Amino acid sequence: MSKPFILLWFTCLLARFSPAQNLIPNGSFEALSSFTCADNPIAGFQFVNNWYSYGTPHLITRGCLYDPAVWHFYDPSAEPVEGLNTIGLTGQLFVDGMYSSVAMGVSLTTPIQTGREYYLQLNARNRGLWHRIPDSLRVCDTDPPRQVKVYFGDQDFLYPTEFIKRPADFTFSSAELQEAEPGDWVLFNQCFVAAEDHSDFAISLNRGNASMSLPCELRALEDEPNYFIYHFDLDQLILYPVPESIDSTLSSCAGKIFDVNLRRLARVPPGVPIVFEWEDGYSGEQRSLSEEDVYQITAKLPCTSFPIKLIVDLTGCVPDTYVPNAFSPNRDGVNDIFQPFINAVYPIQNYSLQIFDRWGTKLFETDQPGTGWSGMVHGRELETGVYIWMMQYELMVGDEIQRITDRGEVLLMR
């Protein structure tokens, strides 16, 4: 016998998406150990959580004022990509033809793994050139050009002297970074498959040998060792592990509408440009789905892509249930226990079965679906009669809880 259920109420839970996944901690430099303006930008870098340095990077915090005559690359009107803070790296070209740069590093939240694909993104801004030699105010091409250089290594790998000669894993440059005057933010990105496991990430400007095009020339001057000094601001550094694919099943009772956010589902950090193209022609990261179907989506990053499959499974909530309307606890081994039987495809939790007499006195209670009532209370056998039962439990249907209550009468026969 199958009895009708009373669906008292249900609560739709918000989808429990994991937070966006950026393996570079504090990649926008907003987490500081102190929110007091430092005496100068170099001292301010000491407040930046997670990062360590080789040389003297700068921290520029919007609202903290410094003297532009002393800090040549400081501009109080220059805005970060987001938030309040940017980091500045300074590089130099010496008259003997050698580039030098400060650098900074950080331990990744999860090491990169051999054979895994990653998406790397950073924003760089040229703050211009500062010339030490008066007749070098001409803008001359250098080989290599001024660049942002990225490295992967292991803990504190910036400190050994070998780092100076180590080739960068990736370099980023553009026409905007080569200008003599300050410019705007430039977005750079790179997709790659890790060739080795590494725990740390570092970033610097040019290091090593350089040459210069005519009419400029490199020369040795005892009183002016620097040909020029340059400075790039950095912000919103992101390292995102690209999924091979994402398969997700959304299950619920018929009539449920799912509000899907694909960026959150794929854990794509804010600020990463990504396009979601649906097989049925829809384009967008958010969509309401109410039709039972299989949805195929291609997630397109600037330099790679990965597939997403969404299965919308709209299923009936009510399980197949049998509750006896009579039992005879006479120890003959036949029908001695009163026990409901629930056949549900979804997990059952918070189960409760209660038995009452006709005056509402509770006689029995259990939270175990496999436990029934033997017709006794406090070790005493109850008389033949009609008793009231109430059963409550929850079904976990995908990310949604269905709370169900059923009640009825059972005849106890001696």
> Residue 8: what pLDDT?
31
- CATH code (residue 96): 2.60.120
Distance between CA 328 and CA 322 in Å, rounded?
Answer: 17
CB atoms within 10 A of CB 63: 7
pLDDT of residue 95: 77
Q: Under 8 Å CB-to-CB from 100, ≥6 apart: which residues?
A: 91, 92, 94, 207
Instruction: Yes or no: say if 186 and 104 are a contact pair by the CB < 8 Å rule.
Output: no
Length of the chain as a residue count: 414
Give yes or no: residues 130 and 148 share one domain. yes
Q: What is the sign of the dihedral through the CA atoms of 214, 219, 223 and 227?
A: positive
As to burial, measured by CB atoms within 10 angstroms (0-12 exposed, 13-18 middle, 19+ buried), residue 395 is: buried
93 and 236 co-located in one domain: yes
224 and 94 inside one domain: yes
Q: At which of 225, 241, 257 does a domain end?
A: 241
Alpha carbon separation from 123 to 88, 189, 326 (Å, rounded): 12, 9, 74
* Residues in CB range of 89: below 8 A, 6 or more apart: 57, 58, 101, 102, 103, 104, 148, 203, 204, 205, 231, 232, 234
CATH number reported for the structural domain that contains residue 383 in this entry: 2.60.40
**287: domain CATH number?**
2.60.40.10
Which residue type, as a one-letter code, is found at position 414?
R
In a domain, 25, yes or no: no
How far apart CA 12 and CA 19 sit, in angstroms, is: 20
Residues 237, 255: one domain? no
- Which structural domain range is residue 306 located in? 246-314
Q: For residues 143 and 236, state if they share a domain.
A: yes
Q: Are residues 83 and 177 in the same domain?
A: yes
Residues 255 and 234 in one domain: no
- Do both 370 and 388 map to the same domain? yes
Give phi and psi for 47, each to the nearest 5.
Answer: -85, -10
302-to-28, 101, 120, 267, 340 alpha-carbon distances in Å: 20, 29, 10, 16, 57
User: What is the distance between the alpha carbons of residues 1 and 98, in angstroms, rounded to a whole number?
Assistant: 88
Residues 55 and 197 in one domain: yes
CB hemisphere CA count around 316 (13 angstroms): 6
- Residue bearing tokens 């995102």: 240
- Tell me, yes or no, whether 97 and 160 share the same domain: yes
Per-residue model confidence as pLDDT tens for the chain (414 residues): 333 333 333 323 333 345 789 999 999 999 999 888 999 999 999 999 999 999 999 999 998 999 988 888 999 999 999 999 999 999 998 877 889 999 999 999 999 999 999 999 999 999 998 876 665 545 678 899 999 999 999 988 888 777 777 899 999 999 999 998 999 999 999 999 999 999 999 999 999 888 877 666 665 555 556 678 899 999 999 999 999 999 998 876 666 788 899 999 999 999 999 999 999 999 999 999 988 899 999 999 999 999 999 998 876 666 788 999 999 998 888 999 999 999 887 788 999 999 999 888 999 999 999 899 999 999 899 999 999 999 999 988 766 787 888 899 999 998
Taking only the tens place, the pLDDT of each residue in 46-58 is 999 999 999 999 9
115 and 70, same structural domain? Answer: yes
Q: Is residue 328 part of a domain?
A: yes
Could you tell me the two tokens for 343? Answer: 């056949």
Question: How confident is the model at residue 352, as a pLDDT?
Answer: 96
In three-state form (DSSP H/G/I as H, E/B as E, the rest C), the secondary structure along the chain is: CECCCEEEEEEECCCCCCCCCCCCCCCCCCCECCCCCCCCHHHHHHHECCCEEECCCEEEECCCCCCCCCCCCCCCCCCCCCCCEEEEEEEEEECCCEEEECEEEEEEEEEECCCCEEEEEEEEEEEEEEECCHHHCCCCCEECCCCEEEEEECCCCCCCCHHHHCCCCEEECCHHHHCCCCCCEEEEEEEEECCCCEEEEEEECCCEECEECCCCCCCCCCCCCEEEEEEEEEEEEEEEECCCCEEEEEEECCCCCEEEEHHHHCCCCCCCCCEEEECCCCECCEEEECCCEEEEEEEECCCCEEEEEEEEEECCCCCEEECCCEECCCCCCCCCCECCEEECCCCEEEEEEEEECCCCCEEEEECCCCCCECCEECCEECCCEEEEEEEEEEEEECCEEEEEEEEEEEEECC
pTM for the model stands at 0.74
Residue 139: the pLDDT is 62
Looking at 241, 257, 280, the residue that finishes a domain is 241
What is the predicted pLDDT for the residue at 41? 95
Q: What is the pLDDT of residue 14?
A: 32
pLDDT score for 97: 81
* In-domain check, residue 29: no
For residue 113, tell me if it sits in a domain.
yes
Residue 36 lies in a domain: no
Residue 252 lies in a domain: yes
pLDDT (0 to 100) of residue 180: 86
Residue 251 has a pLDDT of 75
Rounded CA separation 338/375 (Å): 8
Same domain? 295 vs 342: no
Domain end, chosen from 314, 347, 370, is at 314
Domain contains 31: no
The span from the CA of 119 to the CA of 190, in Å, is 6
Number of domains in the chain: 3
Q: What's residue 1's pLDDT?
A: 34
Please indicate, yes or no, if residue 35 is contained in any of the structural domains. Answer: no
Adjacent-strand bridge partners of 118: 192, 241
